[in-house]
């Protein structure tokens, strides 16, 4: 066997193993073939979550309409709920660690099929340092941005489970 033949066999084996395990690139979802168009309704049409969700829908070849139309599935999103809970304190009573919570809910409305609930609940730990307040504030904002991206991913996964 030549070196070229061995390389070809190894590459073919690697490709078949990757495809056999169900590997798909991150961010690609197997949405129902009928879900090629959608309208996203939210109390804040320009929120970071809605923008990220529309980006992911477009990335998955779903046309996002600017206005509702009959026969087009509509994703209704309620406002996001952001909260924090104290997990631990320093000896002097200042907060040492928080749990950041992010929740968003809604439903997918499909004509003649009813409503399919969409609920996302995410939690992250955040260690605070009162001596670096500005840096920690920026870190907290970055964590919330990351939670919004993760929420959009979970909404896309939930949309992938809907079939009609």
What does DSSP assign to residue 70? T
As a whole-number percent, the residues of the chain with pLDDT over 90 amount to: 55
H-assigned helices in 37-120? 48-59
**Domains of the chain, first to last:** 28-160 (3.30.160.150)
Under 8 Å between Cβ of 129 and 117: no
Q: What is the model's pLDDT at position 22?
A: 61
Q: What is the model's pLDDT at position 118?
A: 95
Q: What is the model's pLDDT at position 133?
A: 85
Q: What is the model's pLDDT at position 2?
A: 83
Residues paired with 100 in a beta bridge? 84, 124
Handedness of CA 102, 106, 108, 113 (dihedral sign): positive
Say yes or no to pLDDT of 25 above 80.
no
Higher pLDDT, 20 or 101: 101
**Quick one: average pLDDT of 117-135?**
91
Q: What is the model's pLDDT at position 113?
A: 86
Higher pLDDT, 25 or 122: 122
Q: What is the model's pLDDT at position 13?
A: 86
Q: What is the model's pLDDT at position 128?
A: 87
Buried b (16+ CB within 10 A) or exposed e, 71-83: ebbbbbbeebeee
Mean pLDDT across the chain, nearest whole number? Answer: 88
**Quick one: average pLDDT of 103-108?**
96
Prediction pTM value: 0.78
**Quick one: average pLDDT of 121-148?**
91
């Amino acid at each position: 066997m030549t070196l070229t033949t061995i390389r070809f066999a190894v590459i073919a084996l690697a490709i078949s193993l990757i495809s056999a395990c169900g590997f798909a690139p991150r961010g690609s979802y197997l949405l129902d073939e009928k879900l090629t168009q959608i309208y996203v309704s939210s109390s804040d049409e320009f929120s970071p979550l809605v923008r990220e969700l529309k980006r992911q829908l477009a990335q998955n070849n779903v046309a996002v309409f600017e206005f509702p139309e009959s026969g087009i599935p509509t994703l209704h999103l309620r406002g996001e709920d952001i909260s924090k809970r104290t997990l631990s304190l320093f000896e002097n009573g200042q907060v040492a660690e928080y749990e950041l919570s992010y929740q968003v809910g809604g439903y997918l409305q499909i004509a003649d099929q009813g409503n399919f609930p969409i609920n996302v609940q995410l939690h992250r730990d955040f260690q605070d340092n009162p001596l670096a307040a500005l840096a920690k504030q920026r870190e907290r904002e970055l964590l919330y941005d990351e939670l919004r991206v993760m929420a959009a991913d979970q909404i896309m996964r939930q949309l992938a489970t809907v079939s009609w």
